[in-house]
Amino acid sequence: MFHGLRAYSFGILAAPYGGHASRWLMACVLMIGLGTTAFPAQARDDIPLFNVARVTPDDVLNMRAAPDPAADKVGEIPANGQGIEATGASMSHNGYIWREVRFNNVTGWVNGYFLIRAAKPDDDITGSTSKPKGRVFPEPISCAGTEPFWGVLIRDYLTVFDSLSEGRLELRMEPARTPVQNQSIWAIDAEVVSTRRPVTALIKKVNQCSDGMSDIKYPYEIQIVLKNGPVYSGCCRKADKR
Q: Residues 234, 211: contact at Cβ < 8 Å?
A: yes
- Higher-scoring residue by pLDDT: 25, 226: 226
CA–CA gap between residue 97 and residue 75 (Å, rounded): 19
pLDDT score, position 120:
57
Q: pLDDT at position 39, please?
A: 33
Contacts of 54 (CB under 8 A, 6+ apart): 113, 114, 211, 213, 214, 216
A 10 A CB-CB count for 36 gives 7
Please state the rounded mean pLDDT for residues 107-130: 64
d(CA 143, CA 161): 10
pLDDT at 14 over 70: no
Distance, in Å, from the CA atom of 78 to the CA atom of 41, rounded to the nearest integer, reads 19
Q: pLDDT band for 127, please (50, 70, 90 cuts).
A: very low
Measured distance CA(109)–CA(102) in Å, rounded? 9
Q: Of 60, 155, 48, which Cα lies nearest the Cα of 111?
A: 60
Average pLDDT, the chain: 76
CA–CA distance, 64 with 66 (Å, rounded to integer): 5
Query: Are the CB atoms for 163 and 148 separated by under 8 Å?
Result: yes
CB-CB neighbours of 226 under 10 Å: 21
Report pTM.
0.52
What is the C-alpha separation between 220 and 237, in angstroms, rounded? 7
Is the pLDDT confidence value at 43 over 60?
no
Higher pLDDT among residues 48 and 155, named by residue:
155
Arithmetic mean of pLDDT, 182-190:
93
